[in-house]
Amino acid sequence: MQFRTKGVQIILASHPVPALPKSIRPVLVAFFLLLSLVTSALAQEKFATYPPLPAGAGSIKVFDRDGRFAGRILPAGRYWVPISQIPGFLQNALVAVEDSRFYEHNGIDIKGIARALMKDVAKGRMAEGGSTITQQLIKNKYLSSEKTLDRKLKEGMLAMDFEKKYSKSQILEMYFNEINFGNGAWGIAQAARLYFDKTPQEMTEAECSLLAGIPKAPARYNPLGDPAKVALRRSVVLKRMVELKMITPAQRQSISAHPATVTKPGKSTYYLAHIKAKLIERYGAGIIEQGGLDVISAMDLKLQTLAEETLRTGVRKISPKLQGALLCQDPATGDVLAAAGGVDFAQSPYDRAFSAKRQPGSAIKPLIYAAALEKGFTAGSMMNDTPVAYNRGNGKSWTPLNYEKTLFGELSLRQALAHSNNVIAVKLLDEITVPYFTGFAATLGVHLQPQNGLALALGAQEVTLSELVSAYSPLASGGLRPEPRTIIRIYDQRRRAWTEIPPVVAPVLAPGTAYVTTQMLKDVMTYGTAKSLKKFSQERPSAGKTGTTDDYRDAWFVGYTPQLITGVWVGYDKPKPGGRGFTGGAISAPIWGRFMRAALASKPAVDFVKPDNVVTVSIDPTTGFLASPGCPQKRDEFYLIGTEPTQYCPKHGGNLLNPPEPVQPLPGSEAVPPASDGGKAPGADGQQPGADGQPPAPEGEQPQAN
């Protein structure tokens, strides 16, 4: 006695079986049924090469802050779908267009081979192979795609062997789970999810007709390809089904009249990749395969699209080999409105906005100046940029130099910051001390190592673009630092519950310090290293700072208005010089300007709010003293109450004038002790200040800035 179940032959005996008592027959039937199930499971186990598709698995949908669909985060794993869960319409459609004699041949189709051979002879090359579904499966699993006679012979032999081992339904099941459906989708589970956000069981006839047409040329006929070519291929599938009487002409017409809706891929790929990382951080890696979440992100989809386009155009205009990043944040809430981590996600998905650490160059200097203001220095404090040698130990010294070795002499801190003066930045850091500054920077979210010493003033330690933008936020928001936020809330479809992620904001800087630093940074955009943005700054109150690292390797610009703060980095992934002129002011500032002009187009121009404990006095900017009638140059300068100069400029007759009455602190505000008479900072007489620690700048290299 023998019987066959799902292609597995079971021989029980080779001789007649005697009649059995009726009482034993039910037991024997149950035994055979159990044996059938076991053998079926064993056969299934042999060819199912991936875990079964989990019930209820789905994608994670991401929306922007206004509810606009931004994209999906898809499961990364491959899953096996049994033939019973693959729509019969899809099975018929595939057989009709790929191998209409599938249920008749033994793995190779002689008629098909003859037909293909005639076409090959006519074209003078191997254009068609007459491959059956079984042969295609064999080629996909075991062989290369080269068009040679030897490969075709191997393919045919293996196909016939396959047909002896497996049933037609098993072969078809393997085919659907192994074949390439384009755009990185392997197998029917990934294809259904990618193109329609469904499981295979949920697909409509219109959707099935699209997928059936893909295997012939996945890159050309996948649903995200050229619409005309995809529609033509679908028509071929339906026409063939009519010819084989699998559907009626009326069904064909109905399906054609109601085409499938394809789920378009999200464009905000860098942002979505970061959302994916945050979800894994929150829920564990399994959440991506499980899915079932709706994520409301902090993204503004319009700004995200603008950021990607502006960065791509700006960087490739310079060189197609360059990379870059742009990150835009709401300074009040920390919401990351846009984040482009590179110029092309498909070519390089590495996120340079959140992950890449590079030296910031002079873009770190505003933090030093803000720290100095907190220590009693003022925007009008005078310092000399005569180079000074610092002892590095072991008989070695380090002498910081200005960009292109330019010397200015006596400068106010306002002017020194605008011109990105290296010598004064190092002297200022030395005055406030490295330990104080690293502690101050940590409160702003930038964790610097004290052992880097005075070289920190020139951006010797690497940071991410996100960290730097976040550190500037208190300057734009009156001293409040929000944690960067990319997810606002999450809806769990299984639990039917929302999880809110509120902003986290903390005061880290005196409002007056933030305001005065911002007023100093405005000059960067009018006559300083980002003067190309002067027109923008005249239209909208704004502030910012450039950064250029040694040998022109990295170009930075971080700038802000009261509404938005945006940072731009441009450079090579493998650091190398960009050439003379590859500076933050020339490379990154224009990209920033184009983005911010468009991003703020619909918003009113507003200025930064001046705190009550900030006063304005007229000074001589060449001396830092109060302006006397004889001073040829005068300007209004901002001071925290108690730090403003109290003497008139002695250089222009001010010593003959009586000092003004000091401004009294307002109730509830604290006065800051003045730095010294005339606002001149300690150690600003050009003599070498005592060094706290040894600057670790690499020997032979001079970090530069602009």
Domain boundaries in the chain? 2-47, 81-257, 614-670
pLDDT band at 133 (very low <50, low <70, confident <90, very high): very high
**302-327 tens-digit pLDDT:** 999 999 999 999 999 999 999 999 99
**pLDDT above 60: residue 1:** no
**60-77 tens-digit pLDDT:** 999 999 999 999 999 989
What would be the CATH architecture of the domain defined by 81-257? Orthogonal Bundle (1.10)
Which residue has tokens 């401004």?
Answer: 663
**pLDDT above 50: residue 26:** no
**104-126 tens-digit pLDDT:** 999 888 876 666 566 555 555 54
Q: Which residues contact 556 (CB under 8 A, 6 or more apart)?
A: 360, 361, 363, 468, 546, 547, 548, 567, 568, 569, 584, 588
Give the helix ranges, DSSP H, for 53-132: 88-98, 110-123
3-state helix, strand, coil in the chain (%, to 5): 40, 15, 45
Distance CA 178, CA 180 (A): 7
Q: Which range is least confidently modeled, 198-202, 354-358, 448-452, 679-683? A: 679-683
Burial (CB count within 10 angstroms: exposed 0-12, middle 13-18, buried 19+), residue 304: buried
Mean pLDDT of 427-439: 98
Distance CA 657, CA 648 (A): 7
**495-530 tens-digit pLDDT:** 999 999 999 999 999 999 999 999 999 999 999 999
Catalytic residue numbers? 98, 362
pTM value is 0.83
| SS3 label, residue 183 | coil
Distance CA 101, CA 97 (A): 10
Q: Which range is least confidently modeled, 353-367, 553-567, 690-704? A: 690-704
**pLDDT above 70: residue 176:** yes
**pLDDT above 70: residue 41:** no
- What integer best gives the mean pLDDT of the chain? 87
pLDDT band at 336 (very low <50, low <70, confident <90, very high): very high
**pLDDT above 90: residue 25:** no
Sheet of 543-548: strand order equals 336-340, 323-329, 565-571, 554-560, 543-548
Instruction: Give the per-residue pLDDT at 174.
Output: 96
Q: Token digits for 272? A: 């979505």
Residue 690 vs residues 372, 413, 438, 454: alpha-carbon distances, Å: 17, 20, 18, 12
Torsion of CA 472, 475, 478, 483, to 10 degrees: 10
Distance CA 504, CA 65 (A): 17
pLDDT band at 394 (very low <50, low <70, confident <90, very high): confident
**453-480 tens-digit pLDDT:** 999 999 999 999 999 999 999 999 999 9
In Å, how far from its chain's centre is CA 49?
Answer: 33
**235-279 tens-digit pLDDT:** 999 999 999 999 999 999 999 999 999 998 887 899 999 999 999
How wide is the angle at C-alpha 610 spanned by C-alphas 609 and 616, nearest 5°?
A: 150
pLDDT band at 55 (very low <50, low <70, confident <90, very high): confident
Mean pLDDT of 656-684: 51
**556-595 tens-digit pLDDT:** 999 999 999 999 999 999 999 999 999 999 999 999 999 9
